[in-house]
Every structure is written in structure tokens, then in C-alpha cells.
Amino acid sequence: MATAPRATAAALAALVLLAAAPARATGSPEAEVLAAVLRLDALLVAKDAAGLRSLLLEGFVGGVPAGTAFRRDEYVAYHCRPGEGLVSVELDPAVAPIVRVFDGRFAVVNRRVLVRRRLPDGKDVPLVVQRIEARVLEGGAWRLASGQGTAVQPPPGR
């Protein structure tokens, strides 16, 4: 039986492999957008700079829960710092993501994620983050135009 870290590493490796798969699956546009969302999460945790750049539009602007907004290359550098940053990102199972597709080319995603972030001192802190993302279908891939994460309080009882 695999240990928890090994199982986590295997799951992460599988998600990163998904990032290399064609973005257009045989599903609804909403399912394809959600698959792209999960690919982004896996690339953030893997600190895969090239993979992140491939999913972020050149004019991308993203905001992090600390309140800072970054252009694409700054965002990638921020999320690819060695020894700190995102350790895990999971959809909150209590809150279904909402994916809306407009004109078959634009999508807005609202979702809540459970995050573990490693601080520079090596300590991991859990966060609950409400995300909103704007995506554009470009070259067969749902690329991220903009995203904002806001730290929120966990629901009562969690």
C-alpha cells in the first residue's frame, strides 16, 4: 500500500500529465473548462513554469489572497518559488464550482478551494479561498485571462 506522501505524489503526477493532454475533451464546454481549471491547480502545485505560461494568456493578470496582483510572468515566478508556496489545491467538496460559458469562447468560473500554503519558514498553513476566473478558448485550450483569489472563513462546523 502506498504511503500518503507517495499517493499524493502519484496523484499530482497524474494531474500534471493531464496538463499535457489536449484541452478539448469529449464533454460539455463546462466540463472542458473545469478540466482546464484542475490542470492549472496541478501546475501551480508542481511549480511548472512552462506549463503555467502555456495556460495563462499573455495579458493575464492574477490576484492572490494577500491582495497583490501580478502580470503573467510575475505570477508564474511568484508561484514557482522553491521551498514555499502552494502545497495543495483542492476543490471544496461542500461547494460545487459554477462554470458559465458564453458564446462558446468565454467562460467565468466561481469556485471555492481548500489550499495548503508553505511559508518561507517551512510551516504549512491551510486557507479557504474563493476564486473567480475568466477564461478564453484559444487554440483549442481554455486559457486563463484573469483570476482572483480571496481568503474566506471556512463555513461553520468545518
Q: Which three cell numbers stand for residue 149?
A: 483569489
For residue 145, what is the domain's CATH number?
3.10.450.50
pLDDT, tens digit, for every residue of 44-87? 999 999 999 999 999 999 999 989 999 999 999 999 999 999 99
> What pTM was computed for the model?
0.81
User: Is there a domain that residue 16 lies in?
Assistant: yes
- Residue 60, in any domain of the structure: yes
Residue 147: inside a domain, yes or no?
yes
Measured at the CA of 95, the angle between CA 91 and CA 101, to 5 degrees, comes to: 80
Tell me how many domains the chain contains.
1
Q: What is the pLDDT of residues 91-148, one digit of tens each?
A: 999 999 999 999 999 999 999 999 999 999 999 999 999 999 999 999 999 999 999 9
| Rounded Cα–Cα distance for residues 94 and 155 (Å) | 9
Cell, residue 151: 481568503
Position 9 in a domain: yes
CA distance 47 to 50: 9
| Residue 158 falls inside a structural domain | no
Is residue 32 included in any domain, yes or no? yes
| Range(s) of the domain holding residue 40 | 4-152
